[in-house]
Each structure stands twice: as structure tokens, then as C-alpha cells.
Structure 1
Amino acid sequence: MAKAKAPFWPDTETVLLDMDGTLLDLAFDNRFWLERVPAHYARAKGLSFDTALSDLRRQMQAVDGQLQWYCLDYWSQRLGFDLEAMKLEHRREIRMLPGIRDFLTELTTSGRQVAIATNAHPAVLALKLEETGLDQLVGRQYTAHDFGAAKESPRFWQALESEMGFDPATTLFADDSLAVLASARRHGIAHLCAVARPASNQPPRTISDFPAVEALPELGPVPPKL
């Protein structure tokens, strides 16, 4: 795995951060989509768990990388039950990855423009901000649903750049999704960082396509902007 170093800080004016798997522990979402949703779907349809999981994976693969993949409204309508209510039921399991609170405090006091850029549905974003207080650490949050295009799409990056006015040549973007990082690279984002351990209950992945860290605090200490 190509270890991400931090010589880019003097050249970095803007920092864009994914939320799930980058700032927040992806263990919550993995349990939700790989255990709770297929179990509920299996009961509703009279299927075995394995059959329900296989069916869900097939349906999700059909919209992989598209905004529908991340849309609670789309899946609630398609599956026939309220996914937002299910998320609310288990909200106490939402938590930050280790060291993120201190890292964000250091980052946001460095004088750089910092924002969360997520594919999460607005209701999910609001829930996770309320549960974790992330909005108290990073005051600007943008979801792909605001722009009508997932982060995998060039339209997302064009819209976000227009909204924020950042310069891709002086921007750092961190995400656990390699497809999203590839999209950011095509847009010209100069500094990219993959998160190799998005879920605390899983081992780190081996990543070769991008500089990577197990967790964002490895990019610290963050010096003040020159």
C-alpha cells in the first residue's frame, strides 16, 4: 500500500472529506445494509436470508455509482419498508472513527477551507450530524443529492467547485471509495488520499491506486496555512 505522506499541506488551501468510512465508522452502515435490511426484506418477502441478500445485491449493482444507490427514498419505495425509520432505530451505533475529533479540530483551526462532501441522503446526513456533532467541527457539508449527481459523476465535482469556488490544484480530498477518488482525480483534484480501514471491525485493505492511510489522523500534525 502506498503510504500517504503530508508534504502537500503547504500547497493545500481546501480540504474535502467524505463522511461514511472516512470520518464515521462504516461498521454502522455495513451492519445496516448487509444484515438488518436483508433480514427485514427476507421476512417481508418470505425468503431465506441468503436469497434476500443476493437479491438486494443484484438490485444495488444495477444502480452502483448512481445517486439512487445512496437514496433512502428510492430503496424505501423499492423494498416496501421505511429505511429512515430503521436508521433512526439504531442511531446510537453511529460513531466517529478513532482520533477524528482531534484531527478535525486541528484541521479546522489551521486556516484552511474544510467541508464534508458525501453521497449520503440528506436525512442520513442530518441524523449523523445530530448524533455525532460533526457539524460543530466542520461547518460546511455538501451531499450529492444537493447537486443531483453522485460523487462518481463529473457533474458532482463541477457543481461543488462552482458552489465552493475551490481550486482543484490546491485541494486535498479523502475518501474510502476508490471509484469516487478516481472521479475526483479526473476532475483535477491534486491531492488524494484513500482511507484503508473505513470500518473499525475489519482489517485494513491493501490499496495501490492511491496514496492511503489507515485513518486520517495519520496525516497530522496539520500545520497552519501559510
Structure 2
Amino acid sequence: MPTSLPWHQIDTVLLDMDGTLIDLHFDSHLWQTLVPARYAERHNLAPDEAKRRIDAHYEAVAGTLNWYCVDYWSQTLSLDIRGMKQEILGKIQWRPNVIPFLAALKAAGKRRVLFTNAHPASLAVKIEQLGLDEHLDEIVSSHELGWSKESQESWQALAERVPFDPARTLFVDDSERILVASADYGIAHQLGIHQPDSAMPPLQFRRFPALKDYAELLPLIA
């Protein structure tokens, strides 16, 4: 159970997308199962060898914009990543009680800003599938800013794009590394996601509280 949040001291809520608002299972299945399988087929490799090569590619650019870039991976792996996403659209699902939580934030007058590392092409797919834009006040992809959320430059660029007071802001993300980056920038409140992928074991957060279900935050009581 996360610690109670001082909602009277929070004006802006920055929200990650994949693993935070949306079940990470879609992306996990795409990148950990479907991409290695198609790569093995295309290059006539054994599954284990294909997975080893894919993981090496992933590790080489982890934490950079390329890691999140559909076009980079399509070119690097010679695969139609956009087409593969279309094959598994049914796996794009909200996390439990996200919509009631976002509605409660709106009712309480909190600004709801999606801040994601997802490539605009990936973002567009999820907006189309779930109507994300109907439940948020602003949507920003780090690709528009030129740096991933892991870097301080990204946070500085976000503040120029969407002015907010770090001392009165909550940031919710399933990556502790990115939560740390937000704290280093001066964001006052952080919240992790205990189980971003519903098909995988829970995560453990060392520095920040984490929630299992947005119902834990409802109603919004300071």
C-alpha cells in the first residue's frame, strides 16, 4: 500500500503510459516474444540465438531514445514493427481503475499530463485503441523533446513545453530509474507501479512507494 499523498500540495500529475496507465503486457509480448520469433524466422536462426542477438541489441541502447524508437528497431532488425503491433492490438488494455482515477484527478482540479518515452507511432496506436487523449489534459512524448526521460535535459525541456511547479507535482512511473531522474530534477512526489505487466511477477521499489491498483488512491484524500 503506498503512503497517503498530500493532494492539497499537488497541482500537476505526470503519468507514464506503458506499465503505468496501460498494462505492459502488450509491449512485453511484442518485444520479448514476437520480435525475437520473427527475427529468428527472417535470419534463419535458432530461437535461443535470435533471443541472444536481440537482447544484445536492446542492451546496447537501453535508456536512450533509440531504445524506444519504432523506426530505429524496424531498420536495425529489418522487421515491420508497426505491422507487428497491429497483429496484437487486443493486448492493449488499461490497468485496473485507471479511468476512475483520472476522472477523480479532473474532478479535483489536478492537471493530468501524460509524459512517455513511447515513440509517437506507438503512442498513436494506443490513443486510437483506448482513447487516451479523452482522459488527459496534455500528452508529451520524449521523442518530441529530443531526450529520454532518463536524462535531466528531458525534464528541463518538459518544463519549457508544459510549465509546472516541481514542488507541487506527482510523477507516476513503473521504472525506478526514471523515478530517480524525476526526483533529481526536483519533482516532489513519486509513485511506482508494483506490477506493470499483469503476466509477470511484481517489481520491488527501493526508494519510492508503489501501488498495485489505482483504487488504492480513491477517493483523493489529502
What letter is aligned with 2:15?
L
Q: Tell me the equivalent position of 2:145.
A: 147
Inter-partner Cα distance in structure 2 for 1:143 and 1:223: 30
Question: Following TM superposition, by how much is the alpha carbon of 1:133 offset from its aligned partner in structure 2, in angstroms?
Answer: 1.2
The residue aligned with 1:115 is: 113
TM-score (normalised: structure 1)? 0.94
Give the alignment of 1:1-226 within 5 angstroms: 3-223=1-221
Alpha-carbon shift at residue 223 of structure 1 (Å): 4.8
SS for the counterpart of 1:62 is helix
| Paired residue total | 222
Percent of aligned positions that are identical: 42
Measure, in 2, the Cα distance between the counterparts of 1:52 and 1:33. 12
Once residues 191 and 123 of structure 1 are traced to their aligned partners in structure 2, the CA distance between those partners, rounded to angstroms, is: 30
Q: 2-side partners of 1:167 and 1:199: how far apart?
A: 31
Give the TM-score of the pair, scaled to structure 2: 0.96
Report the CA distance between 1:48 and its aligned residue. 1.1
Runs of 5+ in structure 2 lacking a partner? none
Give, as a single letter, the amino acid of the residue that structure 1 aligns with 2:50: A
Q: What SS does structure 2 have at the residue aligned with 1:218?
A: helix
Root mean square deviation, CA, Å: 1.3
**C-alpha distance in 2, partners of 1:182/1:25?**
22
What is the DSSP-based 3-state SS (H/G/I as helix, E as strand, rest coil) of the residue aligned with 1:43?
helix
Deviates more, 1:106-115 or 1:73-82: 106-115
Shift of 1:98: 1.1
Q: Is the 8 A contact 2:111 2:137 kept in 1?
A: no
Distance 2:53 2:71 in 1: 19
Distance 1:6 1:161 in 2: 26
**Aligned partner of residue 106 in structure 1, secondary structure:** helix
Displacement of 1:222 in angstroms is 1.8
The amino acid that maps onto 2:44 is: G
